[in-house]
Amino acid sequence: MARVALVTGGSRGIGAAISKKLQSEGYSVAATYAGNDEAAAKFTEETGIKTYKWDVGSYDDSAAGIAQVEADLGNIDTVVANAGITWDGFFHKMTPEQWNKVIATNLTGVFNTVRPVWPGMRERKFGRVVVISSVNGQKGQAGQVNYAATKAGDIGIVRSLAQEGARAGITANAVCPGYIGTEMVRSIDEDVLNKHIIPQIPAGRLGEPEEIARCVAFLASEDAGFINGSTISANGAQFFS
């Protein structure tokens, strides 16, 4: 039977590439989205991948949504916690709302996504958890105290989950993308992108979403069973950790 994968934020950007890659590898994929009904409907029409709408920042909505996915597709054994937002600003201007919203979506969202599927993975003695972190969680980034905190937190989450899940056949790993050519990155002020960001990428270009999707597919595979608590960096040599 096909493995079932849940990809949060799976209908756009890096998440869409992950959903499509896992589908091409034979998974039954459920992709979640938060708000953009039109993009989600278009994605389903183009790919045949089912989409589900909920706010990953809400535990109750996540648990209910996950129960629905499992009723539709079967037990989830692969979960990709990808949903994330930015709300950048220098720290001296950052508001509590800016901080709380990014923490709720990017960090609490990982708890809300993985916690409901974890007991089933333990029972079935198999699971794959992949969390999409960021180069900016590894190195920090001016203007992203909130976002960098969540992405550094992802690394702590997978290292801890790895130790808890290893004997139950569950792996938990993070992928740290660098700057990838998605809407999120393209919405950075062009001047800032060209003056401060691209020159710091030795590859001289933004990454492609598919380059991240291939890392995720590898970590999700049976072959990657002894890789646990790791971080794969895919950033065009921008940063080494």
Q: Which residues bind ligand CAA (CB under 6 A)?
A: 86, 88-90, 134-136, 141-144, 147, 179, 184-185, 188-189, 192, 195-197
Q: Residue ranges of the alpha helices (H) in the chain?
A: 13-24, 37-47, 59-73, 96-102, 109-114, 118-124, 135-139, 145-165, 183-186, 190-192, 209-220
Our CB check for ligand CAA shows the closer of 67 and 192 to be 192
Which residues form the catalytic set? 147
Q: Report whether 236 contacts 229 (CB < 8 A).
A: no
Q: Which residue is nearest to ligand CAA (CB)?
A: 143
Minimal distance, residue 103 CB to ligand CAA, in Å: 15
Q: How far apart are CA 27 and CA 42, in angstroms?
A: 20
SS3 content of the chain, % helix, strand, coil (to 5): 50, 15, 30
Minimal distance, residue 202 CB to ligand CAA, in Å: 15
Our CB check for ligand CAA shows the closer of 89 and 169 to be 89
Residue 50, by phi and psi: left (phi above 0), alpha (psi -120 to 50) or beta? beta
Our CB check for ligand CAA shows the closer of 50 and 151 to be 151
Q: How far apart are CA 6 and CA 129, in angstroms?
A: 10
Minimal distance, residue 185 CB to ligand CAA, in Å: 5
CB count in 10 Å sphere of residue 190: 9
Our CB check for ligand CAA shows the closer of 91 and 115 to be 91
Pairing between strand 78-81 and 28-33? unpaired
Minimal distance, residue 106 CB to ligand CAA, in Å: 10
Which H helix or E strand runs over 132? strand 127-132
Vertex 180, ends 200 and 91: CA angle to 5°?
65
Minimal distance, residue 184 CB to ligand CAA, in Å: 5
Instruction: Enumerate residues 6+ apart whose C-beta is below 8 A from 2.
Output: 26, 27, 28
Our CB check for ligand CAA shows the closer of 72 and 189 to be 189
